[in-house]
Chain A
Amino acid sequence: MIAEFGHFALVLAFCLALVQVGAPLFGLARTQPRINELAAPAALTQFLCVALAFAALTISFAVSDFSVSLVANNSHTDKPLIYKISGVWGNHEGSMLLWVLILSGFGAAVAYGARRLPEALKVRTLVVMGAVGAVFLAFVLFTSNPFLRLDPAPFQGAGLNPILQDPALALHPPLLYVGYVGLSVAFAFAVAALWLGEVDAAWARFVRPWILVSWSALTIGIALGSWWAYYELGWGGWWFWDPVENASLMPWLIATALLHSAIVTERREGLKAWTVLLAMAAFAFSLLGTFLVRSGVLTSVHAFANDPARGVFILAILAVTVGGSFALFAWRAPLLKSGAVFAPVSREAALLWNNLFLTVATATVLIGTLYPLVLEALTGELISVGPPYFNTTVLPLAVPLLLAVPFGPLLAWKRGDLLAASRNLITVTGMTIAVMVIAYTFMGAHEGFAFLGIGLGAWLFMGAVKDLYERLQLARIPLAKSVKRALGLPRAAYGTALAHAGLGLLVVGVASAGSLRADRVEALAPGQSLAIAGYEVRLETTGSYEGPNYWSVYGDFSVLTAGRVIDRVRAERRSYPTEAQGTSEVGLHASLWGDLYVVLGEQQADGVSWAVTAAIHPFVRWIWFGAGLMTLGGLLSLSDGRFRVGAPRRARKKPGGAAASEGPA
């Protein structure tokens, strides 16, 4: 009954989405604004209906109603409640329902949250969001219905892949979806703007919070996924350039570009057409990611061909979205005249530089991800494009981009002074060189990649500190005045500095952990130890226990330095009888400078000793710590009062369009 109720709510939501699209279209055509007013309540009730459907599915999972086919295939009575609930989106149908839930939630937020949104823009945005919602609801209802029944109901469910039974991975998909769907709001705003033929600073200000929400969610979502891979897959890898990862990286790169180009549109009314184009491209990349992950095309072109219903549906959505929005762009973009005049050295130009490298990097990831698929489809030939390709193409593109970051915030709008900015960065340069010298004394230059990465990271971090230092005019004006400035500084300025500093830490982590990793594998009996990088890892005892839905064999280890025990870690191997799969729970001795990573392997033929791997991952935590800071920076910018007020300040009408020069980058 609950499942049918959910199904019914979903059908109702689909109808309401059609009302959200149809009523304003009719109203606009007949110029009857009262009919337009239907859009907002339609968006809200649509959200409530989807929320009911989602609740119905969650209840079915929580009470293990195995007469619902999806629950039977993905859940089990022995599973802890949190994983019964996260199992709702641990599968195709449920995750698409979550997608629609977030989409309709954002639709309701646009309808009722953004009070100051001009009516004309709001109605059109809601129409586009309603159309996206209707299409995805149709996708769920017709190809991926989560409420299908099973008769007779099985006595027990098939369980959830044990490597997915993890707190980080329970949160990873919802966060990514918030990111993807947030980009659909930016898309809706972009299409609405083209429809109106008008993009101004106010538009950029309305769309910016959505870009920030989605960028922050994507950043932390991708970071969580990578953190999960690091400790769960059992060998310490955290980024694989796997197509599924690339599918989330591409929207992130484009969202980062969009975040920066929207600043130019907001502050200087420049790059209007480009910002609109990026907003549409960002959503197209989200859809492409959804297609890659959800269609089965990645497993093989043939797997896709065998069951093409879903893939073809998403491909059709993608084709219509891309084709339609680019046609609309070609038709309407000439209306968007950017009046902004700026010199080749200016903050606008720096942001353009940022956009150039980010979009080329996105294109490169796209080529590398799709090439093998296209080649196989066209010629039947199989090739693999893996980490070596992306490392040799994308990483060099990152260098000029990262080098330029500290300059951006120091350059003035319209006409910057590169020489003055360079002079401002002298201390930063000095500190960067100092850091590189220290790195050199510790590891020598033969680890070129790590060495350069540490230098770049230091440059970014100090550059961000310097940015704040300049804004507060520390040491130049009395401290009390600096404090006053600090209080008056927009939160977005702190957000920028925090995100750039976080990026610096992330770069240090990526470069070091990527190339300074070391490991050792030995067969150890209890009491024996192995040595790695100044640590001694001693296997103390082994044992076993029974978990809620798994068996565990574990090894308890002592970590020693200079003969003293500094930590005890447990490495486990779990086996899940229901799913007939195993997982490895690594033992981690974590520190700021690097992780000691202990994995328990197979029992050896002698019956007493076990294969044990100990690995050192230098600075690896900085990756996630940096990503966390970036996310905080995004959220801090989001909390900036200017977006909450979000008023279209028509009063500021000026022929030159020159805005105040103080502001965030």
Chain B
Amino acid sequence: MNKLKNNNRKLSKSKETLISGAEAVILSLLSEDVDLLYGYPGGAIMPVYDELFKYREKLNHILVRHEQGATHAAQGYARSSGRVGVVIATSGPGATNLVTGITDAQIDSTPLVCITGQVASHLLGSDAFQETDIIGISTPVTKWNYQITKASEIPSIIAKAFYIAKSGRPGPVLIDITKDAQFEKFKFSYKKCDGIRSYEPRPKVNDEIIKKASEIIDKAKKPLIVFGQGVILGKAEKEFKNFVEKSGIPAVWTILGLSALPTSHPLNLGMVGMHGNYAPNVLTNQCDVLLAIGMRFDDRVTGDLKTYAKQAKILHFEIDPSEINKNVKVDIGILGDCKESLSKLTSLINKKEYSKWIKEFKRLDNIEFDKVIKQDLNPTKKGLTMGETISNVNKYTKGDAIIVTDVGQHQMAACRYSQFIKSKSNITSGGLGTMGFALPAAIGAKMGAPKREVIAIIGDGGYQMTIQELGTIFQNKLPVKILVLNNDFLGMVRQWQQLFFNKRYAETEMVNPDFVTIARGYHIKANRVEERKDLDGAIKEMVLSKEPYFLEVCVEKEDNVFPMIPSGESVSNIRLE
């Protein structure tokens, strides 16, 4: 009898501590210090949403207007804050709508944890309502993914997901949770993940290799640093700046490296790549040592590989072993976290200056200024240019804002002409080139850095791919500034058609709606500029506004972005007109 009583007591006690899988999802997120997630509810994820309702004081959920917007918002959040972005969506179409953003995060190394609902485990594989094999679909575009079918797996898998997403070279992780696992009750306990035996996120820096690198650097006559996002992801801005200043080596950036070193720094000499600056591209093929730091030799950076920096000794600082020798054969691969390798290297090298070599940059800069920049920033023609618009933005942000860009001509203009004084200030879709990225990414960027000014600069094409997120901005009263550079064309494609397809403008001209009216429909302050005399005032009003603000600038319809390395050609064949 006594024994039975005891047993009953035990049973009721353990019953008290049982929670549902859905609640465990929330508690696991809270254990990872998550306080914000982007998502969209639906059938297979409803148990988790029900718990979200209960925990809404602790966990802020932002309801987007399309799941793709949730992924880009989480990317913007991750990029402006340096934390992991979290996304939640339902099964089937909810899950497939995440794929573009996940792919973008994978190629641009952005840490995301995406949670999708799935049909109950007994229905898996039966083509149930809103069932899709999101594990199969997302495999090639995630750093890791996992399907949970038992509630007891939830805490350890979420812990592993956060560890994988943010460690080493960051990336997106997807966790698919069947509906029965969300309902199932179990005893919850949480332990953060601190290692996985098959996974080495931070390869050790080899001191001998650092020594060898320092000898090469000390002997260099015309060295060049090309830096990428690795400096930002490795939180190595300070170490990088110290290295640049002691070594005296001119530093140029890839599109994702932008803002890791202030644009006004005397050794920051511009952008490499297809629409980068003239000097950095031409001199890539004249330097004697090329130090590639936290970048991956994307084809938009290298142009024709057969003629890329063949004369130079190449030193590649990289955390991901599979990137070394992937596109460009290097002389020394310096594996490891650049925060560590750069500080070690800085202590070994001699302090130097390369004034003669830097003069060569200045000489070519002047050519670019005369042929391109002058007309972009101070045009004499009637139509407004993208360049003068960006230059006006700089005037009022003073380089302190986060600039979020989409993909196309406006993106190149914004990256070429924006000024930055702080890191994590340039947020754009680099590797994947996802039109529609900027508007939702700006939402996340603002929430990841609420005290900073966030300006989304978008073309008229990309803007309409995710325009519905104006609803998210309106509902959450997010003071995001939206600057649409409207040329009534898919401008970059049109430019290629003009240059390489004999001006056959196939499906690139757009008949656009009244963007100002649309923004006002969402109760967002809106304005349009068509003439130069109104530009300065309108941009001032936009930047200084405390509320969300939409500004459309009608720019010249058929302007081109120069310089330009034609696709597949050598970086030294960069064209100025």
A and B are partners in one complex rather than unrelated chains: no
Residue positions of B touching A, CB distance < 8 A: none
